[in-house]
């Protein structure tokens, strides 16, 4: 018999009788041993996996009138190419035990998962995304640098693809129904030369479409990359077959479509590059907001001042803010008088006079006096952090029409 120990956070308990009631009810279930701690608001449960499932425990707790604590996970998701990718990730994660809701946004390349700790964990969610053929990483500042590198890489591929595709496009002049009087080098009309140029575009530059498409098919779904790979492969391999007939079968006028496969891949890469640039701009607002925050604070301990990183400031710390410096965190003035520029929060261009017992907001600028302040809100509790969170949630949410479009795309791509 295989057993599994889990810890579930429980909400709604108000007294010892609540925890006792839950514990008794869970222990009556076949294959379940439970111990409920009121102080920690947690239940330690050992399950015989052959007789019970974690979802049975959750349903039992909710049936008793209590709730199971949930946690929010924000992550950057790499490797998505179209709306059907986002839809597939949402569907794959929604099927996981312990996942309450999933929202994946293609434009910001991010996802938000509400899950029940103990039933599932962040690592399990990351692994599930990886099994679907993508990569999920915790949201962090380094993700911006990774996106910049990815954008440069796409631009380099686009330039190389364009350089290799233009000679093939130029050969189309020979097929025009009128005389253009433009010279066409015989080398460009050579089928083997065209095969080499188109082959580099097809398999080196366009290899990403085969990789992504294969992952999608292995997960029993299809995305835009499958369509691109199928369409361009048909043109390329038919032209390669015609080239072999030209070389070994005595065919004098082979029908070649190398330029079709190469130009299609180039145009798709162009679209992906523009899309990546648009995505980059959608996150620029958050980056700029985060840049407004002070990086250091001057903390007063035993009458001495010392500089510390902003993340080391705790509630209750005494801070000194000199003229021209940014207010490090939200707090209250305990000594001094100055004018503070709060335009980044309120939009008011005229500095506001601040004195003892006045509230000050983090990231605003101290103009001309020295202030001694007491930290009241730090980290994610500051006004600036709240604004950033609202902007992130607004960018991560989907309009009803976007949800409809994503649903249609998730069906349309596999059918085509």
CATH of the domain at 335: 2.70.150.10
What are 48's strand-pairing partners? 3
- 195 and 233 housed in the same domain: yes
Of 85, 62, 72, the C-alpha closest to 125 is 72
Give the residue from 25, 40, 68 where a domain finishes.
Answer: 68
Mean pLDDT of the chain: 84
- 55 and 76 housed in the same domain: no
> pLDDT band at 262, cuts 50/70/90?
very high
Residue range(s) defining the domain that contains residue 19: 3-68
Q: What is the pLDDT of residue 34?
A: 87
What CATH number should be reported for the domain holding residue 123? 3.30.70.100
- 122 and 151 housed in the same domain: no
**Residue 207 is assigned to a structural domain of this protein:** yes
The fraction of the chain above a pLDDT of 70, given in percent, is 89
- 206 and 329 housed in the same domain: no
> pLDDT band at 407, cuts 50/70/90?
low
Contacts 24+ apart (CB under 8 A), 56-61: 56/29, 56/32, 57/6, 57/8, 57/26, 57/29, 57/32, 58/8, 58/98, 58/116, 58/119, 60/25, 60/26, 60/29, 61/8, 61/10, 61/22, 61/26
Burial class (CB in 10 A: 0-12, 13-18, 19+), 183: exposed
- 327 and 363 housed in the same domain: yes
- 59 and 181 housed in the same domain: no
**Residue 335 is assigned to a structural domain of this protein:** yes
**Residue 309 is assigned to a structural domain of this protein:** yes
**Residue 124 is assigned to a structural domain of this protein:** yes
Domain count, the chain: 4
Q: What is the pLDDT of residue 199?
A: 94
The fraction of the chain above a pLDDT of 90, given in percent, is 26
**Residue 396 is assigned to a structural domain of this protein:** no
- 41 and 85 housed in the same domain: no
pTM: 0.62
**Residue 206 is assigned to a structural domain of this protein:** yes
**Residue 406 is assigned to a structural domain of this protein:** no
Condensed to tens digits (0 to 9), the pLDDT of residues 172-228 reads: 876 776 676 677 788 888 899 999 999 999 999 999 889 888 877 887 777 778 888
Q: What is the pLDDT of residue 414?
A: 65
Packing angle of the helix pair 191-199, 224-248 (nearest 10 deg): 160
What is the secondary structure of 137-204 as a DSSP string? EE--THHHHHHHHHHHHHHHHHHHHHHHHHHHHHGGGGGSSS-------HHHH-HHHHHHHHHIIIII
């Amino acid at each position: 018999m295989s057993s599994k120990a889990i810890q579930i956070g429980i909400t709604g308990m108000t007294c010892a009788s609540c925890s006792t009631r839950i514990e008794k009810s869970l222990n009556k279930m076949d294959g379940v041993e439970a111990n409920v701690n009121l102080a920690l608001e947690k239940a330690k449960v050992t399950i015989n996996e052959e007789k019970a499932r974690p979802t049975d425990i959750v349903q039992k707790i909710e049936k008793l009138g209590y709730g199971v604590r949930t946690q929010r996970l924000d992550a950057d998701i790499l490797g998505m190419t179209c709306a059907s990718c986002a839809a597939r990730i949402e569907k794959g994660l929604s099927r996981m035990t312990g996942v309450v809701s999933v929202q994946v946004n293609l434009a910001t390349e991010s996802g938000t998962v509400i899950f029940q700790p103990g039933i599932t964990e962040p690592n399990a969610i990351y692994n599930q995304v990886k099994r679907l053929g993508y990569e999920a990483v915790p949201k962090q500042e380094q993700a911006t640098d990774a996106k910049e590198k990815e954008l440069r890489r796409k631009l380099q591929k686009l330039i190389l693809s364009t350089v290799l595709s233009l000679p093939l496009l130029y050969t189309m002049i020979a097929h025009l129904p009128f005389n253009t009087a433009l010279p066409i080098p015989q080398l460009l009309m050579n089928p083997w030369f065209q095969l080499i140029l188109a082959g580099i575009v097809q398999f080196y530059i366009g290899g990403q479409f085969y990789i992504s498409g294969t992952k999608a098919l292995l997960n029993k779904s299809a995305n835009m990359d499958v369509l691109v790979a199928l369409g361009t492969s048909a043109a390329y391999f038919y032209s390669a077959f015609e080239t072999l007939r030209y070389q070994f079968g005595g065919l004098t006028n082979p029908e070649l479509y190398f330029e079709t496969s190469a130009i299609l891949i180039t145009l798709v890469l162009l679209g992906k590059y523009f899309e990546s640039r648009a995505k980059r701009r959608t996150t620029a607002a958050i980056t700029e907001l985060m840049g407004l925050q002070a990086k250091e604070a001057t903390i007063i301990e035993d009458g001495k001042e010392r500089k510390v990183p902003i993340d080391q400031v705790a509630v209750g710390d005494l801070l000194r803010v000199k003229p021209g410096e940014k207010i490090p965190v939200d707090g209250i003035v305990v000594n001094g008088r100055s004018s503070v520029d709060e335009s980044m929060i309120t939009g008011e261009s005229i500095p506001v006079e601040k004195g003892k017992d006045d509230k000050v907001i983090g990231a605003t600028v101290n103009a001309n006096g020295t202030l001694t302040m007491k930290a009241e809100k730090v980290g994610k509790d500051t006004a600036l952090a709240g604004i950033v969170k609202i902007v992130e949630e607004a960018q991560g949410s989907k309009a009803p029409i976007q949800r409809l479009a994503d649903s249609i795309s998730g069906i349309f791509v596999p059918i085509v």
